Structure 1
């Protein structure tokens, strides 16, 4: 499992490296003003719907059922099931696309009502949305093909696909002079990347000997079973997106740049989530589905324990850095060009608030597949509904005093509520049973995280004195010093904890 997760995580890390280059270029050319806010909303719209109808919801309903059909009924039955679902997906996405193209101004006004008082801003955002929205149809088809590949234990192409998004957007930024604005260039880059990502996974599917064709949609027994699971999964994904919609809606009423502050903080927050949480969750879902299909409940529990340990071990150093030194991190990565000191401070405040919930968000990527692998997509929806209500209510309470940082902190609290509910429910059905090794390892990494925070805080003053050591990148040396201090402290205490844990287990 860890070899596969490392493969997915490594490719995701490569994608994030390209994404970092993209975001640095975007920050320098767009900054955090009205033009940037318009693109962020146009970029978020198809991605909000992608997160609802594709990715999490789709994988939760499709991958276990495809894997079960492949294991029990053979490749022919799995292929027929995949083709039926593909046809239904494309038809539904085509209808949604036509509606979005026609009603783009209304959609934008609903997502960012603060823009309604600024007609040029609203018109620009709607124009950019019409360019980016077809990306949703392409990426939905890509997600289905990626799910098929994952069920066949092929993860590389699907994990590499997001690299093409970043490459296309970087190329668009380099060619921005040919477009009306930088935002227009980025919007076209997003659309082109959708074709490139779909082509990559389709090529890998054909190369693996698997094929899918287009046919008229059929409501077979397998498809009905998929739709039964897909409905609750969509509601679950929608719950997450409702909270994100609330962020965009409320941020559109805040001072200019607030939408962008949340975007750049989210980009850093998403790094450990993508490299660790999504990678582990992607591999864990088919692994648990196969074990449960073979009635190996003990093996499934063990895989979940080990997945949680490993995911938290790799995530907590980021938590320490983002919580203790968000300013130096944001300044080093984005603080140049149009991204001024005010933008750095705004994004840093959001990043620090997000850091509180990062362990819970990554753990959710491990716990939720334990429900989906057994075909239960309804229980996570119920837990998420409670968490979303608390999240959105807290946003309204905190936005007045803490502005965009209050929105980010509410997201973190909602993640912890969601995780707590799912853990309690999973333990009741005996799907999660932390063993002695689990508790020893969690205690070890918690102590290591505290040591890392202390080392980072201790190094802040001396690191600040190093500002300007590299003239071209004045904030890079302080951030590097702080990061090295935190990592060394974490590694030392984690290694010591590992040795102690082995002796205690022995």
Structure 2
């Protein structure tokens, strides 16, 4: 099975999840707009989401997958099952302790970390604490889900892990539909949503557990014991957790700074949801598939194959994210107007969120490139170097956010996050080059320049023709006219970009498939 097909499997499932996410955010925009209750809910939800990334996705994609793959290579499924049970027992116990401590500390966490700007508003502060208490156990469900997903990815069963997040959106949409149908007040809607998050966490855990059983592993519970393998996992996971959650760390920093302005947190969240579509579809797909592929190639001693896999993965990232970045920059206001501008979401909200989205879009290739570069370290069991670079990017993001927010408001926070992504990418790329772990070949360099040229031409065409579409995209225009105008622009952009990219040699699907196909010698070592 080629890497392209694996990218498409994970990316397709993730696309489905992101589309449901759009539906969810559209309903939330209509129900809550960028008002105070929207700020409260997103502030409360951001914290369990942060810890999910820190202790779950980042840590286990980076640390668990290489060790689990190694167990499969050396001791077969029985050894991998034993290792998984050891990890599960420790993880469950640690998560239970963290959940109890965080629940008891929630007022302090909201006051000093989650939303310091809410302290002067007793109602917002109290509601944020209570909603966060309801949603925080979601962390426990999602961390265990991440571990089981790591097992599935290592076993080349990608679909169940990729499709599980859809359930979060489905359950939250159901809660929103119920609230809108009954005309619920914003505060009641926030409560429905908070409980739906917890229910969704349980469903996601169930989906991947069934997937693991289907893959041939029946996990039993072991009392927590710090075996050598578990200690090695923890040594790798702690820095990887911090690194893997860099985007969420930056978002929490931005949220804390933005909490002093009403509506700013919700505005950042609405823009974040849109740029998460290409980030999720491409970034998650590449990160999930690339790490076990690199780990297996390196464990088998195939350094050259690992280098080829990473080069082609970077090509794949640039092929899809460069046009997405230009498109989000040029069409940001139009996208926001079509998706969100209705009900409590006004034309003024559109201009604010559109400006944020434009800067998020500019940083998109860097955010996704991080996902393609970090596995080059993780597959070699080096999680400390990316953590150091993450620390640098967090410092840059914090400094720029504090400096720019008083001047540019929410746009300043988005600009700071894009700059932090750029710096992190440069540091990762440079270190891989210095160590000889990444050797860019001529096809990569040549195609990257041609893809960039194609994306810039696409952007120029969209700007040149924007006058023809603007009458159909005015705030008072009919929704159908706005939707058709937006999709025509997107279709035109795709024709220009893909047509030019293939015409000038920036992309060649036949060659891409051949280069990304796993070599037989690596395949022979998969069992």
Q: Quick one: distance in 2 between partners of 1:500 and 1:366?
A: 18
1:213 aligns with 2:220: yes
Report how many aligned residue pairs link the two structures. Answer: 504
| 3-state secondary structure, aligned to 1:229 | helix
Matches within 5 A, 1:74-85: 74-85=76-87
Q: Does 1:166 align with 2:172?
A: no
Q: How far apart are the structure 2 equivalents of 1:242 and 1:163?
A: 23
Q: TM-score, length-normalised on structure 1? A: 0.96
Unaligned residue ranges in structure 1 (runs of 5+): none
- Tell me if 1:384 matches 2:395: no
Please state how far the C-alpha of 1:16 moved relative to its aligned partner.
1.1
- Structure 1's 450 and 380: CA in aligned 2 closer, same or farther, altered over 3 A? same
Q: Does 1:24 align with 2:26?
A: yes
Q: Residue 394 of structure 1 is aligned with which of 400, 408, 427? A: 400
TM-score norm. by structure 2 comes to 0.92
Structure-2 separation of matches of 1:272 and 1:328: 17
1:285-333 residue CA offsets vs partner (Å, 9 max, x unmatched): 0000000001111100000000010111111221111111210111011
2:142 counterpart residue number: 139
Measure, in 2, the Cα distance between the counterparts of 1:232 and 1:14: 31
Q: Is the 8 A contact 1:157 1:200 kept in 2?
A: yes
Task: Measure how far apart 1:104 and its partner are.
Answer: 1.9
Within 5 Å, which residues of 2 pair with 1:168-207?
A: 168-176=171-179, 177=182, 181-207=188-214
Q: CA contact under 8 A between 1:470 and 1:476: conserved in structure 2?
A: no
Q: Provide the C-alpha distance between the structure 2 equivalents of 1:309 and 1:500, rounded to a whole number of angstroms.
A: 9
Query: 1:316 aligned to 302, 319, 322, which one?
Result: 322
Task: Verify the 8 A CA contact 1:84 1:217 in the aligned structure 2.
Answer: yes
What residue is the counterpart of 1:466 in the other structure? Answer: 472
2:38 to 36, 61, 84: 36
- The answer to whether structure 1 residue 437 and structure 2 residue 443 are counterparts is yes
Residue number in structure 2 paired with 1:487: 494
Q: 2:313, 2:342 → 1: CA distance? A: 38
| Mapped partners of 2:461, 2:484: distance in 1 | 16
Q: Distance in 1 between matches of 2:491 and 2:326?
A: 12
The 5 Å alignment of 1:68-467 reads 68-110=70-112, 111-176=114-179, 177=182, 181-237=188-244, 239-254=246-261, 256-467=262-473
**8 Å contact 1:332–1:473 — kept in the other structure?**
no
Return closer, same or farther for 1:499/1:479 CA change in 2, 3 Å cut-off: closer
| Shift, 1:498, TM fit | 2.3
Structure 2 unpaired stretches of 5+: 513-527
Q: CA–CA distance in 2 between the matches of 1:364 and 1:402?
A: 26
Indicate conservation of the 8 Å contact 1:467/1:477, yes or no. Answer: no
How far apart in 1 are the matches of 2:239 and 2:104?
A: 28
Shift of the 500–141 alpha-carbon distance from structure 1 to 2, 3 Å rule, reads closer
Instruction: Please state how far the C-alpha of 1:382 moved relative to its aligned partner.
Output: 1.2
Give the aligned partner of residue 515 of structure 2.
none
- Asked whether the 8 Å contact 1:257–1:343 carries over to 2, the reply is no
Segment drifting more, 333-342 vs 179-188: 179-188
* Preserved contact between residue 273 and residue 361 of structure 1 (Cα < 8 Å): yes
CA contact (8 A) 2:243 2:386 kept: yes
Distance 2:212 2:250 in 1: 35
Partners of 2:428 and 2:82 in 1: CA distance: 34
User: Which stretch of structure 1 is more off in the superposition, 97-106 or 307-316?
Assistant: 97-106
Secondary structure of the corresponding residue to residue 337 of structure 1? coil
- TM-aligned CA distance change 1:237 to 1:7, over 3 Å: closer
Aligned 8 A contact 1:353 1:406 in 2:
no
Give the Cα separation in 2 of the matches to 1:291 and 1:48: 32
Q: Is the 8 Å Cα contact of residues 463 and 477 (structure 1) preserved in structure 2?
A: no
1:238 deviates by 5.2
The 1:467–1:399 alpha-carbon spacing in structure 2 relative to 1, beyond 3 Å, is closer
